[in-house]
Amino acid sequence: MTNPDFRPISGVDLPRFAGIATFMRLPHIALDDERLSKVDIGLIGVPWDGGTTNRPGPRHAPRQLRDLSSMVRHENGATRIRPYDLANCADLGDVGPNPADVEDSMKRITAFYDRVKAAGIMPLTAGGDHLSSLPILRSLGRDRPLGMIHFDSHTDLFHSYFGGFKYTHGTPFRRAVEEELLDPKRVCMIGIRGPAYDFEDRDFADAVGIRVIPIEEFHARGVEDVMVEAREIAGSGETYVSYDIDFIDPAFAPGTGTPEIGGPNSFQALQVVRALRGLNIVGADMVEVSPPFDTSGATAFLGITVMFELLCVMAEIIGKRRGTN
Amino acid sequence: MTNPDFRPISGVDLPRFAGIATFMRLPHIALDDERLSKVDIGLIGVPWDGGTTNRPGPRHAPRQLRDLSSMVRHENGATRIRPYDLANCADLGDVGPNPADVEDSMKRITAFYDRVKAAGIMPLTAGGDHLSSLPILRSLGRDRPLGMIHFDSHTDLFHSYFGGFKYTHGTPFRRAVEEELLDPKRVCMIGIRGPAYDFEDRDFADAVGIRVIPIEEFHARGVEDVMVEAREIAGSGETYVSYDIDFIDPAFAPGTGTPEIGGPNSFQALQVVRALRGLNIVGADMVEVSPPFDTSGATAFLGITVMFELLCVMAEIIGKRRGTN
Amino acid sequence: MTNPDFRPISGVDLPRFAGIATFMRLPHIALDDERLSKVDIGLIGVPWDGGTTNRPGPRHAPRQLRDLSSMVRHENGATRIRPYDLANCADLGDVGPNPADVEDSMKRITAFYDRVKAAGIMPLTAGGDHLSSLPILRSLGRDRPLGMIHFDSHTDLFHSYFGGFKYTHGTPFRRAVEEELLDPKRVCMIGIRGPAYDFEDRDFADAVGIRVIPIEEFHARGVEDVMVEAREIAGSGETYVSYDIDFIDPAFAPGTGTPEIGGPNSFQALQVVRALRGLNIVGADMVEVSPPFDTSGATAFLGITVMFELLCVMAEIIGKRRGTN
Amino acid sequence: MTNPDFRPISGVDLPRFAGIATFMRLPHIALDDERLSKVDIGLIGVPWDGGTTNRPGPRHAPRQLRDLSSMVRHENGATRIRPYDLANCADLGDVGPNPADVEDSMKRITAFYDRVKAAGIMPLTAGGDHLSSLPILRSLGRDRPLGMIHFDSHTDLFHSYFGGFKYTHGTPFRRAVEEELLDPKRVCMIGIRGPAYDFEDRDFADAVGIRVIPIEEFHARGVEDVMVEAREIAGSGETYVSYDIDFIDPAFAPGTGTPEIGGPNSFQALQVVRALRGLNIVGADMVEVSPPFDTSGATAFLGITVMFELLCVMAEIIGKRRGTN
Amino acid sequence: MTNPDFRPISGVDLPRFAGIATFMRLPHIALDDERLSKVDIGLIGVPWDGGTTNRPGPRHAPRQLRDLSSMVRHENGATRIRPYDLANCADLGDVGPNPADVEDSMKRITAFYDRVKAAGIMPLTAGGDHLSSLPILRSLGRDRPLGMIHFDSHTDLFHSYFGGFKYTHGTPFRRAVEEELLDPKRVCMIGIRGPAYDFEDRDFADAVGIRVIPIEEFHARGVEDVMVEAREIAGSGETYVSYDIDFIDPAFAPGTGTPEIGGPNSFQALQVVRALRGLNIVGADMVEVSPPFDTSGATAFLGITVMFELLCVMAEIIGKRRGTN
Amino acid sequence: MTNPDFRPISGVDLPRFAGIATFMRLPHIALDDERLSKVDIGLIGVPWDGGTTNRPGPRHAPRQLRDLSSMVRHENGATRIRPYDLANCADLGDVGPNPADVEDSMKRITAFYDRVKAAGIMPLTAGGDHLSSLPILRSLGRDRPLGMIHFDSHTDLFHSYFGGFKYTHGTPFRRAVEEELLDPKRVCMIGIRGPAYDFEDRDFADAVGIRVIPIEEFHARGVEDVMVEAREIAGSGETYVSYDIDFIDPAFAPGTGTPEIGGPNSFQALQVVRALRGLNIVGADMVEVSPPFDTSGATAFLGITVMFELLCVMAEIIGKRRGTN
């Protein structure tokens, strides 16, 4: 049984529009809080868009995701998973980036996740732009390369931008492969689409063995078939899940910096996460939600709902370890 | 042939952006108007959100639905039904709620519908939040329980809120079953989804025999198959249709208080109504449109288009009775 | 010197867009926190609009005010007051209302403020609609009637609504006078304007001796002259400050339920607060901010800036008591 | 005493968000209604922007003005005029323009106002773009030229556009002078400002004796002084009042097609109307509200509040005639 | 190989948010520019909504489409076509309409396209409302009737409006057939849906042999099957492509004047264009984008992405002629 | 007389909503265009927000300012200056920043302005955040320190951020004084207000002799009196004008990253520029317009109107030199 200290406030006790907004209405446990050691899954904000090359905004995402998370209740209607019965969950607060220095920001993020990892906590991250994933992987994948299931409209495997700059939201996984944080043979990228200047990213993917499933193939084969393959690629090894909100079609997720037309609908957006059950997940992120381009909060609501699905899958792993599932 | 007094103003005579906004540009016939007895189908507004537990707004829906209804023309392009040739239709105005008193408001609504029923008029309601359906059913279902086709993401079958309060937009159909306004064996709920605090609502449904078709089943089976079953459940008895706009995915219907991710698209939203042809419908409602969360009017436009489809199905019933179809 | 535990996080340490949103980035101290006894000024949210007769929304205000409060820094540029050097400040969280029961909600609010008062904390409230002020005054004014400076476009002195209902956002100060929570001779209402059904509220004001300064007089005399009179009316006795955001012209504060044209501008909105220095203030509120009618946050930003000015005036009182000013 | 049939619905009886939206919640009296002869003041919509040269939209204004008019109550807080006690008021509906033909539209408008004039009704118009004023004046000023007080940022005295086209929203008063519908010596234009291609309009004003008070002079002299002069210019003869919403600064009235920076604030916007008391007004209009550029409704709310002030001034004239004032 | 002068600026050289907005960041070549003769495909704006009968706005579309076109890169991710390697492309600027005169505007448009045709340039147009297509066809189809693939929710085959007016956005293709600019036997209309006053448009289609594929058939058969038929209808003759943004469901394309519920999703919106490969296209347009009803730019982004797909198909034709494909 | 090549397109020839958006509809003259040498005043975009510490967005400003500049006509209604008769004006395009490197971006900007200066062109800049002013001054003030009139709510004289980072939008004028690009004795800052972490910026101002006029003094003294002093401070030497849009109250200019409550209104915003006539201005900028926080364009419209006033003052200088004024 989980600790009653690590459960969300119920909307029956305090209406959902009330109260200080934490992720899922969970308690806020700072890294220096003595209760940290009891946390199984930590929700963490990375309010940073230092890697954004076009339209900025994801630095504002963690706060809006926290706000909208009050709309999400406790038991999953589709899978009937009750994550807070399976795992002690908490909001670990935000990593403080340095808006003026990309490299310093990445160091701060990696250091934060090292402390989280040291406490034995599985992190579920609310980015931030997609460059956020790199410093996280530098912590989680430092000891051995991870597999990865990556939902996105872009591969984020480009080499560099603006005449050689190597750290943008278009490059994190190129770096992560180069730094041996990811095992490319165990990486599957799903939903890739849209025009590009060129496709050297896909040439790189082919060269190192990353499987890219473009959106045309996704729509033709359907969620179930695609996810069977994805699970096979990731295998039983430790796996990271990176979910860029622009994976989903912009009618469903307008609030993002580089949308691409023709993506999955919102039901498919949830189905792909449910299909991750059984994988050996060690961490996950939801990135590229951009509130300035979505003042209604519709994108953040979709984003936090996907995060709840990720949380359910992750809590099930904890529950199985404990034998409480 | 229908009475020329009960037809909408044509956009060819008066441009659609012009004129005082009534439902479908129909004449406004107040309950004390002598022409009331000639009306077959009455469109009624219930500007009330006294049952809303989270984000208020549906009190503003009837007005926005009237405004957007100017966009809807006279003949159904899919079914070729011309409702105004089949039935005398009118805007009966709004029921005046008491914003400060839930029980008084429900009494006012029931009293209004009693007069409508006494005049032999079939009501098509623009709510209001979903609690609106309860006082309507107290009129329409008083003499014998009705069947119901219910499109929604929530069952609205919960027992109570906030420590025992029994009248919210999450409880109307629990009350309606308890009060024997609905025959649970003839009730089918379609599109149910999303996280919940618990699922005692579904336990209740199972206990009394309400058929709940969750969204996962809906997507897997498709509209046609699901609606065959729904029609069988309702059977040939008198049936009410309750349509919560949050049945539809929030990308199509953002303007609502408690959206749930992963719903049907807008084409399916129309198809399910067309599949109601042939049922013995005695009334219908469209609820939970919330203009403050949808200033563009997109949700109201979708809502009023669904109402036009409902109107077509209802007018066909009138037409068949008259032999004018 | 104030306790370092009760200071806001600086934007130099953690960028202002980062972190869980509390009022002014202050620590969250729940009522059962042992540090409560050290708090001098408590910022409290009352997310409630149970008294709203027209367009609901203020239930969402505390959360948006917290979010925008990150934009406000530590030292007042006009008065050079540094409130966090003068008083221990904290975010005491939200009072949980009962959305389904006005009277129960008022009891909960009064009980919360009784605990705050018992801890010797001066409350600065973020409403809620204006009915929020009544249960607060039932705590603060229980022992003896208070004076009040009231900034608003409405007197909120009406008798009742909808056929006798006595508790709406148009009646709180009628009730407060009747219940002897306010001393009408020491009450001054500033900025009153707009059409009404009738003016029985002003007849009541005249009868009991409340001074009403309509907006025409405000604009003709100017801030300084009006505020001299207001201070004289309140005198040296204990005084409450109630600030309805609709005091300010709707071009500056669009996000409110019952705006009235022709109000003060934003500079005057701040000046009137600065003119409260020296009064014996025992509590203050900012009410009627309505986020659904102001998705950009402009109104909340103005509201929280006014709250910061109120906080400066209140902290100065604490500072003088301590001799640290 | 006025006829009880011609009074607005009170928000105490029916909440202000409820009911079919007519101007000021007044009864809708069509031109063929037998009650027409009892109407003193008729509120009329002209949903037409056939004269717009840049950003269209005013065709949608009457509907949005009707919607927001529910926010306006019955007694003027500043002047204490109760218009519905002084005059029988009604919503006469909209004139139906021909969106495809400017000249035909103008003929329809003039014909409508001829019927209104024949019924002895004083018209208060909700446009439409400013060209709307011309066909109205063709009815009201046909028998003898009228004086005019004109609030605007533009003179609308230009000769022609796009190579000779004489009927746009920049030309109505040039035509009205040419057609001897206006007596230029009795015309005063207030608030004129902004860049232009050239100022041949002002040369024309000078040539025919129209008094133009630019905004710089308005701000320097103040409302009171300017309005004394304006009243003198109009004198005791029959006078029309034309109020373009772009007279007001765009921060207060963003929803308009050709805003100009630096206008009056909202309090001045009301003051100038109150200063019209005592003039011999025969009709008035509020034009150029453009809902597509103001989805929040703030501009329409300001516009309808100005219309209420105009209505008060007009009702006072009726009241004086009847000796009921 | 194409001329380096006719290529877009790369976002690697100049960030995509920077620079004067031309279509696709291509060079602006005015009709009197000596480089005109080298252009293969010209992107042209027709900022005109003189044919709009309900909600105006498309006059603003070319500018917003240019702005959003910066988001679109150079190589098609699905078809791998690189249009700028195959054809010299340029932004030819806007045709200047006469907002006050429909017929004069049409003459100006036809004259502009005559010059484009004389220069041997294939035009890709950003309208404008759908009446824009008529004056374009008067140029392109003058010598012999064209075939047409028409994506839309309306046939635009109506006879006349408002008592006989023959030139609106509901009539262009009726006129084009009457004027023998189109060969009705080679015209296929796809996606038609929604209520109408009557269906004389479809009677006309049947009479002259135009193939209308309603949306119900489209959804039932799927994109591939429908497009096989469409290509057969158009055959190998010269064919125009007209793409009304309201073909797509309003959740994906809200910014349009007369949306209809139940359309294709965004992926299908692209698929239908890719299925045009191999046709003998002589020109194409994207019409009815209406920025005032879509301030976020989502509709324009979808519209310009569809235009990029059209450009790819057209460039492939040029490339094949040159043998460079 | 000015060259007809350097005049805006008139809205009489091409409607204002039409055409590719350049600043003021002027011709686009790239730096390598042979006509560059004839340009007197160059309007330049700096789409860059690399110095922004809180809410990003000004990188999008030049494009939105260009779009809205179509609304501004040719002759100043207040001063009757016709800038295009006095000076050859052109849009010189945007400087391309490096979004990933602050220092490289500054070098690119300085290099661009060096070329502009070498061509003898007076630059009028549309930023960009306020750090943009530093690299511009590095070009314009390289040879000798300039005077400056600075309109803003912040001094932008802070030393550093985030632990020593010296280049943000809060530091440009500290750097400019240190680098001897500005003569602090000839610098006047107007409108300063709002809370701060501390006021070391003002201590610096005092130490070096910069005159800071806080908003309280501005409102108390009035525009005229303040501007007399400002002109005296700048004197007859070469002077730069820097205008931050957040000088103006956020009700008028909501679209900016760090608004401060209580600023001047829009009329004063124009008056202060008109009061610059006669100064020896060598360049000017308008910075901190942030489109993502102002999707309606109201802020950009105000910003471009201020730029037109600046252009008038600058053109008058050119005209006087030429003797054509």
The 3-state secondary structure of chain D, one letter per residue? CCCHHHCCCCCCCCCCCCCCCCHHHCCECCCCCHHHHHCCEEEEEECCCCCCCCCCCHHHHHHHHHHHHCCCCCECCCCCCCHHHHCCEEEEEECCCCCCCHHHHHHHHHHHHHHHHHCCCEEEEEECCHHHHHHHHHHHCCCCCEEEEEECCCCCCCCCECCCECCCCCCHHHHHHHCCCEEEEEEEEEEECCCECCCHHHHHHHHHCCEEEEHHHHHHHCHHHHHHHHHHHHCCCEEEEEEEHHHCCCCCCCCCCCCCCCCCCHHHHHHHHHCCCCCEEEEEEEECCCHHHCCCCHHHHHHHHHHHHHHHHHHHHHHHHHCCC
pLDDT value at residue D324: 59
The reply to whether residue B77 touches residue E195, judged by beta carbons under 8 angstroms, is: yes
**Position B21 in a domain:** no
**Position B151 in a domain:** yes
DSSP 8-class letter at C70: T
Name the binding residues of C for Mn(2+).
Answer: 130, 152, 154, 156, 244, 246
The reply to whether residue A167 touches residue F55, judged by beta carbons under 8 angstroms, is: no
Show residues of chain C in contact with B96, CB under 8 Å.
none
Which pLDDT band holds residue B13 (cuts at 50, 70, 90)? confident
Which of B98, B162, B292 shows the shortest C-beta gap to C99?
B162
pLDDT value at residue F61: 97
Which of F163, F195, F219 shows the shortest C-beta gap to C72?
F195
Q: Report the Cα A144 to chain-centroid distance in Å.
A: 20
Return d(Cα F196, Cα F173) in angstroms, integer.
17
pLDDT value at residue B1: 61
Contact C309, C71 (CB under 8 A): no
Q: Is B244 helix (H, G, I), strand (E, B) or coil?
A: strand
The reply to whether residue F73 touches residue D197, judged by beta carbons under 8 angstroms, is: yes
Which pLDDT band holds residue B324 (cuts at 50, 70, 90)? low
**Position E94 in a domain:** yes
Nearest CA in chain D to F270: D262
Is residue C247's pLDDT more than 60? yes
**Position E207 in a domain:** yes
Is residue C271's pLDDT more than 80? yes
**pLDDT tens, position by position, B173-188:** 999 999 999 999 999 9
**F89 membership: H or E segment, kind and range:** strand F89-94
Which of E56, E161, E293 shows the shortest C-beta gap to D100?
E161
Better-predicted residue by pLDDT, A96 or B23: B23
Which of D49, D99, D102 shows the shortest C-beta gap to E162?
D99
> Can chain A be said to touch chain B, i.e. do they have 3 or more Cβ pairs within 8 angstroms?
yes
Nearest CA in chain C to A108: C14
A80-94, B12-26, D208-222: least confidently modelled range:
B12-26
% of chain B beyond a pLDDT of 90? 90
> Most C CBs within 10 Å: which of D67, D247, D266, D294, as the mutation test of the C interface?
D266
Show residues of chain A in contact with C33, CB under 8 Å.
none
Shortest distance, CA C60 to any CA of chain A (angstroms): 6
Number of domains in chain A: 1
Regarding beta strands B41-46 and A146-151, do their DSSP bridges make them parallel or antiparallel, or are they unpaired?
A: unpaired
**Position B20 in a domain:** no
Name the binding residues of C.
Answer: 130, 152, 154, 156, 244, 246
Residues of A with CB under 8 A from a CB of F: 49, 52-53, 55-57, 59-60, 98-102, 161-163, 165, 167-168, 292-293
Shortest distance, CA F273 to any CA of chain E (angstroms): 27
Give the mean pLDDT of F152-176.
94
The ipTM estimated for the assembled molecules is: 0.96
**Position E303 in a domain:** yes
Return d(Cα C222, Cα F198) in angstroms, integer.
31
The reply to whether residue A197 touches residue E74, judged by beta carbons under 8 angstroms, is: yes
> Most D CBs within 10 Å: which of B17, B66, B95, B299, as the mutation test of the D interface?
B17
Is residue A300's pLDDT more than 60? yes
**pLDDT tens, position by position, C125-150:** 999 999 999 999 999 999 999 999 99
- Nearest by Cα to F58 from F6, F9, F125: F125
**pLDDT tens, position by position, B75-121:** 999 999 999 999 999 999 999 999 888 999 999 999 999 999 999 99
Is residue D300's pLDDT more than 90? yes
Per-residue pLDDT of chain E (325 residues; tens, 9 = 90+): 678 889 999 887 889 999 999 999 999 999 999 999 999 999 999 999 999 988 999 999 999 999 999 999 999 999 999 999 999 999 999 999 998 889 999 999 999 999 999 999 999 999 999 999 999 999 999 999 999 999 999 999 999 988 889 999 999 999 999 999 999 999 999 999 999 999 999 999 999 999 999 999 999 999 999 999 999 999 999 999 999 999 999 999 999 999 999 999 999 999 999 999 999 999 999 999 999 998 789 999 999 999 999 999 999 999 999 885 5
Return d(Cα F266, Cα F274) in angstroms, integer.
13
- According to DSSP, the residues that pair with C242 across neighbouring strands are C150, C285
Residues of B with CB under 8 A from a CB of C: 49, 52-53, 55-57, 59-60, 98-102, 161-163, 165, 167-168, 292-293
**Position F310 in a domain:** yes
Instruction: Transcribe C180-236 into DSSP letters.
Output: TSEEEEEEEEEEE-S-BS--HHHHHHHHHT-EEEEHHHHHHH-HHHHHHHHHHHHTT
Which CATH number fits the domain that encloses residue C264? 3.40.800.10
Is residue A325's pLDDT more than 60? no
Place of tokens 């109104």: C299
> Can chain E be said to touch chain B, i.e. do they have 3 or more Cβ pairs within 8 angstroms?
yes
Show residues of chain F in contact with C267, CB under 8 Å.
215, 219, 249, 261-263
**Position F250 in a domain:** yes
Tell me if E244 is assigned to a ligand binding site. yes
Domain that holds residue A250: 41-322
Return d(Cα A205, Cα A194) in angstroms, integer.
17
Q: Hey, which chains touch E, using 3+ CB pairs under 8 Å?
A: A, B, D, F
Return d(Cα F226, Cα D304) in angstroms, integer.
38
- Length of chain A measured in residues: 325
